[in-house]
Each structure stands twice: as structure tokens, then as C-alpha cells.
Chains A and B, each alone.
Chain A
Amino acid sequence: QKEVEQNSGPLSVPEGAIASLNCTYSDRGSQSFFWYRQYSGKSPELIMFIYSNGDKEDGRFTAQLNKASQYVSLLIRDSQPSDSATYLCAVKEGYQKVTFGIGTKLQVIP
């Protein structure tokens, strides 16, 4: 059974701080890694994807991938109250389903 593990939180950070969200996965064959943001009552929104080891930056977001440790993380710099949401980690291998973690609820305190 392929699994994606996340701490459900809530993770509380003050406004302007760095939020660090973590995720581990069980399937070493996973090739594609995604972070989604989901506001309450809304659909998941893709915010980052990464395929290779290392860091990938996009604005205030940085995704980090370490395949040897089977670990993916998302850093959000200069956190804003509007970043308060649930962040879903997802992994995929080829012709297989996208497997999601339970999601980490982030609260940015003004």
C-alpha cells in the first residue's frame, strides 16, 4: 500500500515568518511530486510541482525533494494570513493514481 504521510497540524506561524510543511512517501518509484493548497469548501489548487532532487523556487514558495530520504517539503516565506489553508502533498509514478496525504492545516496568525 503506497502511502504519503503528513502531519495534520494545525501548524501555526506568525505573519511574516517561514512556514515549513513536510511530507514523506513510501514508494521509491515515485517520479512526480506535487503540493496543492485547499481552502475550506474549495477544490485543491496546484501550487508547486517538482520532479528532480533539490530545490525549486516560485515566488514565496520553495519545494524541496530528497529522493534518497523519500522526503518532500514546502517552504512558504513571508507567510500571509491568506496562506491559511490545508496543504496537500501528492506523489505519482507513471500510469498510477496521484496519491495524496491527509494534508497539513496551516494557520498564519496576524
Chain B
Amino acid sequence: NAGVMQNPRHLVRRRGQEARLRCSPMKGHSHVYWYRQLPEEGLKFMVYLQKENIIDESGMPKERFSAEFPKEGPSILRIQQVVRGDSAAYFCASSSGPRGEAFFGQGTRLTVV
């Protein structure tokens, strides 16, 4: 019974490149949440998706960031033209429904050089 799978675990990008972070939810889960965390700081909400729908994107920067959760395949968080300030740990969580418990993946550590 695989948990939430995120890949890659570590990603290094040069300034101006694109970063694509993938999240496969737990089996049977159709709700996905993305969070960003800087060292020694709290979890910052980015976006909440259900399959083929964006429920809440209030935490997403207006530019360069986008997210999707297609009918088939993983959820993707895409960051275009990365800058050093994008360096952080990005966590994905999934739940079975709007009230269900959310379980986290291992995270993707993005480093922009």
C-alpha cells in the first residue's frame, strides 16, 4: 500500500530554468494539496486540487507557478523561470475526500543555483 509518492526527491535548477515537481497520491485519494516550506519555517499553503479541478489556489504566486491534477497521472507543480527565492522543500499531501485525513509525501527539495 504505497503512500504519497513525490519525485524527484532532490532537484537542482539554474536560474531561469523550469522545475516540474510530481506527486502521485495514495491509492483511492482524489484530493491533493501542495505546500512550501523554508528551513525552520512553517508550511505555506500553495494550492488544493481535486482531479481535473483547482479548488483553491490562493497561495500560488500569480506568476511563474501553475499546478494541475489530470484525470490520469500525477499532480504536477510547475515553476517557470526559477529564481533563487524558489529554493525550498515542496510537500504534497493527499486525502480521500474533503474531510479525510491528509497524508504527506517525502517532499521535493528544490535548489536554484
Contact = CB atoms under 8 A, between A and B. Distances in A.
Interface in B55-113: 55-56, 58-59, 91, 93, 98-107
B48 to A, nearest CB: 5
Contacts of A94: 98-99
Per CB-CB distance, the 9 closest pairs between chain A and chain B, nearest first, are: A102-B42, A43-B104, A100-B43, A95-B98, A97-B48, A43-B107, A44-B104, A94-B98, A49-B101
B43 A44 contact: yes
Interface string A87-99: 0101010111111
By size class, the interface of chain B is 20 to 34
A63 to B, nearest CB: 12
By size class, the interface of chain A is 20 to 34
Interface of B: 33, 35, 42-43, 45, 48, 55-56, 58-59, 91, 93, 98-107
A100 B93 CA distance: 13
Contact of A43 (B33, B45, B91, B98): B91
A91 to B, nearest CB: 11
Contacts of B98: 92, 94-96
A47 to B, nearest CB: 11
A27 interface: no
A96 B106 CA distance: 23
B2 to A, nearest CB: 15
B102 A46 contact: yes
Given A100-B43, A102-B42, A103-B42, A46 B56 contact: no
Nearest to A102: B42
A34 B55 contact: no
A12 interface: no
A28 to B, nearest CB: 16
Contacts of B58: 97
B101 A88 contact: no
A32 interface: yes
